[in-house]
Amino acid sequence: MAKSYKIGIIRGDGIGPEIITEALKVLDKVGTVCDIAFEYNEMLLGGFAIDATGVPFPSETKEGVNSCDAVLFGAIGGPKWDNLERHLRPESGLLALRSHMGTFANLRPAVVYDELVNASTLKAEVVQGVDIMVVRELTGGIYFGQPREYLSDRAYNTMVYTKVEVERIARVAFEIAMKRDKRVCSVDKANVLEVSQFWRDIVIEIAKEYPQVELTHMYVDNAAMQLIRNPKQFDVILTGNIFGDILSDAASMLSGSIGLLPSASTGEGVGLYEPIHGSAPDIAGMGIANPLATISSVAMMLKYALGEIEASQKIDNAIKQALKEGYRTGDIGAYDAKEICNCSKMGDVIVNLIN
């Protein structure tokens, strides 16, 4: 009997519905080819949820995500909702969703496809072959630390990491490295911050559980420079919340377009899989969004949430093949294009290349 999974679907706002439509076409096709059944549970979040229910994270969605094997998410937000009070805005709904799901590990691969080496703002010889996984701690550190306060003469935040928080994110990074090139570079600021020394000491302890993996350490300022100077030196980058926020955005630009890059947010429960970009209101409804970041997020979901490695690889291979054959969306259209596709056509191309 075919294996069966229940996938939570959040289309969201702007280009969200367009890119999710293409992602589901691809998921259906790979399901047929690999004999896997997917049941979709559509849920509301963000601006669309505000319009329909008055709140950005309705209780039905809160309950719905818990009963899924994984959640696939498009993007939320847009000018229509920008003037609402902060806690009622679409972005608050997304933060609340991540917190509710306990997704403490944010995985952001930065891969440069051979066909798109000229799409990067860096020289082709610098970016060709780049394949980095940034593992960012997502629910601790300075964004969440207490106390925090904004006063008339000063303001402060607190950077805190507990042993449990560092141990669990370090294990995620080492486990991923075991399936890759077996190298982890832990990025911190241990020369200045006690919390970073603590982070480093715990990462060294956890590394003892993974003797096959080479562990190195780098200060965050140097890491930012090295990512631009020689990104190929990295395999897995393990880092905390604020450093990962900055470094993963820098790493994403190595690939050439924000429309290419997927992400996974995982924890002890259900994982959330989404493109790294936003709802792109400037191109929403025009049918020209690049769906590849979302389709890649489907591949990550199959691999990390469901353990369906073959199905995941089929999607990755189809994306590479489509680029090799010269299919491009407008955002990457300037580079060796045979055909500039709209969003739907790119989805069809990927579907047809999965066999």
* Residues 261, 332: Cα–Cα separation, whole Å: 13
* Residues 343, 235: Cα–Cα separation, whole Å: 31
Closer residue to ligand NAD (CB): 116 or 184? 116
Spatial contact of 156 and 149, defined as CB atoms under 8 Å apart? yes
* Residues 243, 135: Cα–Cα separation, whole Å: 11
Three-state SS annotation for the chain:
CCEEEEEEEEEECCCHHHHHHHHHHHHHHHHHHHCEEEEEEEECCCHHHHHHHCCCCCHHHHHHHHCCCEEEEEECCCHHHCCCCHHHCHHHHHHHHHHHHCCCEEEEEEECCHHHHHHCCCCHHHHCCCEEEEEEECCCHHHCCCCCEECCCCEECCCCCCHHHHHHHHHHHHHHHHCCCCEEEEEECCCCCHHHHHHHHHHHHHHCCCCCCEEEEEEHHHHHHHHHHCHHHCCEEEECHHHHHHHHHHHHCCCCCHHHCEEEEECCCCCEEEECCCCCCCCCCCCCCCCHHHHHHHHHHHHHHCCCHHHHHHHHHHHHHHHHCCEEEHHHCCCCCCEEECHHHHHHHHHHHCC
Is 221 marked active-site?
Answer: yes
Binding status of residue 224 toward ligand NAD by CB under 6 A: no
Spatial contact of 210 and 176, defined as CB atoms under 8 Å apart? no
Chosen residue from 31, 109, 140, 259 binding ligand NAD by CB under 6 A: 259
Closer residue to ligand NAD (CB): 196 or 279? 279
Closer residue to ligand NAD (CB): 75 or 236? 75
Chosen residue from 84, 96, 142, 258 binding ligand NAD by CB under 6 A: 258
Length of the chain: 355
What mask, x for binding ligand NAD by CB under 6 A, covers residues 4 to 43? ----------------------------------------
Q: Beta strand pairing status for 36-43 and 236-239?
A: unpaired
CB under 6 A: which stretch of 20-28, 32-40, 125-133, 286-294 binds ligand NAD? Answer: 286-294
Binding status of residue 341 toward ligand NAD by CB under 6 A: no
CB of 223 to ligand NAD, least distance (A): 23
Chosen residue from 72, 283, 298, 346 binding ligand NAD by CB under 6 A: 283
CB under 6 A: which stretch of 29-37, 60-68, 234-242, 285-293 binds ligand NAD? Answer: 285-293
Q: Which of residues 51-90 bind ligand NAD (CB under 6 A)?
A: 75-78
CB under 6 A: which stretch of 51-59, 105-113, 125-133, 289-297 binds ligand NAD? Answer: 289-297
Is 123 marked active-site?
Answer: no
Q: Which of 40, 143, 219, 335 is catalytic?
A: 143
Q: Which of residues 114-143 bind ligand NAD (CB under 6 A)?
A: none
Name 85's Cβ contacts closer than 8 Å, sequence gap at least 6. Answer: none
Is 249 marked active-site?
Answer: yes
CB of 302 to ligand NAD, least distance (A): 20
Q: Which of 13, 29, 113, 189 is catalytic?
A: 189
Is 3 marked active-site?
Answer: no
Closer residue to ligand NAD (CB): 129 or 285? 285
Q: Which of 28, 35, 201, 221 is catalytic?
A: 221
Closer residue to ligand NAD (CB): 240 or 330? 330
Chosen residue from 108, 136, 277, 314 binding ligand NAD by CB under 6 A: 277
Q: Which of 245, 316, 336, 348 is catalytic?
A: 245
CB of 173 to ligand NAD, least distance (A): 22
Closer residue to ligand NAD (CB): 210 or 327? 327
CB of 227 to ligand NAD, least distance (A): 20
Residues that are catalytic: 143, 189, 221, 245, 249
Question: Which residues make up the interface to ligand NAD (CB under 6 A)?
Answer: 75-78, 91, 94, 258-259, 274, 277-283, 289-290, 293, 331
